[in-house]
Amino acid sequence: MQYHTEHRRVLEFVRNTFQDDYSGHDYFHTLRVYKMAMRIAEQENADLLTVRLAALLHDVDNIKLSPETYENKDRAVEFLRKHSISEAMIKTICSIIDEVSFRGTDSITPKTNEGKCVQDADRLDAMGAIGIARAFTYGGNHNRIIYDPDIKPTANMNAEKYQRHISTTINHFYEKLFLLKDLMNTDTAKKIAEQRESYMKTYLSEFLDEWEGIR
């Protein structure tokens, strides 16, 4: 596929896939991940075509959104084959997609530079102001309460426990969001993550003060 045609078709496919999503994994999440992944890739000398396709397709077979296609990445594979992407590149892209997600103590460090760029971009979108907004959006979408002081965060969850775990949105900061900075792969992402984590900590401090009526 020529670049402009390929880019337009991927964007259209992603928009159609997520047009009814209200969990924080929507079309605009994918766009932000794509833009950040490309920014990181340019700094880290990664292959831009691989990063572009993997970032744009990284959630189309997400286990939370499409468990029936997750294992074999059916949606991503079908789209890539339809648009004449080589089997070797499809295998690489699917491997990157499979490595992206946070899985608690079972989280994977991507094998390739391209995979590291996409994983970092996806994790950065769970941090900072956008990350806060997405956390509460996801919590509301899944009937989670905002906060209960009597429900304590759970530490050191493996993939199975993390996927099945039901907690509060504020606990999610401790169970995932505050872990992400130290899981970044690239120097570019590490610098961005520091600022975003600082913002989240400031927000959470204000939240807890307001909860207690201190401020």
CATH at 154: 1.10.3210.50
User: Token pair of 171, please?
Assistant: 């606990």
Per the listing, tokens 């991927």 go with: 10
- The reported pLDDT for the residue numbered 8 is 86
Q: 129 vs 25, 59, 174, 181, CA distance in Å?
A: 15, 21, 16, 15
pTM for this model (two decimals):
0.94
| Residue type, position 44, single letter | E
Range(s) of the domain holding residue 18 = 3-211
- The reported pLDDT for the residue numbered 3 is 54
Query: For the segment 114-168, what is each residue's pLDDT rounded down to a tens digit?
Result: 999 999 999 999 999 999 999 999 999 999 999 999 999 999 999 999 988 999 9
Dist. CA 200–CA 141, nearest whole Å: 21
136 touches 173 (CB < 8 A): no
Q: What is the mean pLDDT of residues 4-31?
A: 89
Q: What is the mean pLDDT of residues 165-191?
A: 97
Per the listing, tokens 């992603």 go with: 14
What is the pLDDT confidence band of residue 111, given thresholds at 50, 70 and 90?
A: very high
Q: What is the mean pLDDT of residues 62-83?
A: 92
What is the pLDDT confidence band of residue 65, given thresholds at 50, 70 and 90?
A: confident
